[in-house]
Amino acid sequence: MSRGRLRTLVSVLHGLGVAVVLAVFLFPFAWMVMSSFKTQVQITATPPQWIWQPTLENYVEVLQAQRFGTYIWNSFVVAAGSTLAGFVLGLPAAYAIARYRQHGLGMVILVARIVPGITFLVPWYIFFSKLKLVDTYTALILSHLLVVMPFIVWVMIAFFEAIPTEVIEAAMVDGCTEAGAFWRVVLPISGPGLVTSGILAFIFSWNNFMFSVILTGARTKTLPVAIFNFLSYSEINWGALMAAAVIITLPVVILGLVTQRYIVRGLTAGAVKG
């Protein structure tokens, strides 16, 4: 075989490999969307139907009968609330850790990633019950904050360490305090870091199930808990279940697609430095 032909063959095989990888990782999403536009009869048909008349009936049912608007709002409030609180607590901490190399402090905060979440859940449940905080946004935001804040710190330490010290020193020579320099100089140039950590924090909170399933009640039920409750029907309404799954997944997927460059950087931050 000639060299040129070999090269073409390798390219074709490579393209095929990439296509297989994409198909495997995207197919469940495709199936979720397709099934959400099918009737129960169409979903349960064997062989599976690839061409059919799409119906909106599942979405109508989910959005009307299941108080989905409330669940979406609850999820949004908790995710936005814990992300904001995560910034307020996490940004100054990350800055101080990065600038003064207080890795010990950093480790204390990062232990939260190693401890199984359920370890907190028993004491939290007891205390939130005593304080009558179960089924309030406060309890949910506080619990999600423990996931979100260390993550923000983790990502932001890497970003703050990359900022040259001269930038901060110049601002301080001009008469800023260090806190002032942090607020007026460091934060404004950390835009990409804030986007990265903020979006991932929002997504982590949005996806959270374990804390929410215990700490929510009728008033503050979030989307993952609501979709899980769908299952308890005697016969599963697959179409509605898939429509609900699409509704939960859509915001995360859109966020992810729009900001993918940042996300890859955030998820792999610190990992490569080893």
In 3D, which of 204, 103, 113 has the Cα closest to residue 158? 103
Least distance from C-beta 21 to another protein, angstroms? 6
Task: Tell which positions 10-49 bind another protein, by CB under 8 A.
Answer: 11, 14-15, 17-18, 21-22, 24-26, 28-29, 31-32, 35, 43-48
Torsion sign (Cα): 38, 41, 44, 50: negative
Q: How far is the CB of 179 from another protein (least distance, A)?
A: 6
Query: Smallest gap, in angstroms, from Cβ of residue 27 to another protein?
Result: 9
**Residues between 105 and 134 with contacts to another protein, criterion CB under 8 A:** 105, 108-109, 111-126
Q: How far is the CB of 68 from another protein (least distance, A)?
A: 13
Dist. CA 115–CA 225, nearest whole Å: 23
- Shortest gap between Cβ of 191 and another protein (angstroms)? 20
Nearest approach, Cβ of residue 48 and another protein (Å): 6
The reply to whether 194 sits near another protein by the rule CB under 8 A is: no
* Interface region with another protein, contact rule CB under 8 A, candidates 59-67, 131-139, 146-154, 156-164: 146-154
Count of all residues that appear for the chain in the document: 274
Q: Which of residues 54-83 bind another protein (CB under 8 A)?
A: none
Residue 207 found at the interface with another protein (CB under 8 A): yes
Q: Can residue 92 be called a binding residue for another protein (CB under 8 A)? A: yes
Site stretch for another protein (CB under 8 A), options 1-9, 156-164, 187-195, 230-238: 230-238
Q: Which stretch binds another protein (CB under 8 A): 52-60, 132-140, 188-196, 252-260?
A: 252-260
Contacts with another protein by CB under 8 A: the residue count is 100
Q: Per-residue string for binding with another protein, 209-228, x by CB under 8 A?
A: xx--xx--------xx--xx
Q: What type of residue is 176?
A: C
Secondary structure class of 65 (helix, strand, coil): helix
Nearer to another protein, 56 or 264 (CB): 264
Closest approach of Cβ 106 to another protein, in Å? 9
Residue 264 in contact with another protein, rule: CB under 8 A: yes
Q: Are 256 and 203 in contact (CB under 8 A)?
A: yes
The C-alpha atoms of residue 175 and residue 26 are separated, in whole angstroms, by 54
Q: Supply the DSSP symbol for 52.
A: -
- Name the minimum Å distance from CB 64 to another protein: 20
**Both tokens assigned to 56:** 């909106």
Of positions 139, 153, 157, 185, contacts another protein by CB under 8 A:
153
* Residue of 91, 89, 101 whose CA lies nearest to 191: 91
| Cα angle, residue 176 at apex, residues 170 and 181 outer, rounded to 5° | 70
Long-range pairs for 88-93 at CB < 8 Å and ≥24 separation?
89/145, 89/149, 90/149, 90/150, 90/152, 90/153, 90/156, 90/197, 91/152, 91/156, 91/187, 92/182, 93/153
* Alpha-carbon span 37 to 53, nearest angstrom: 8
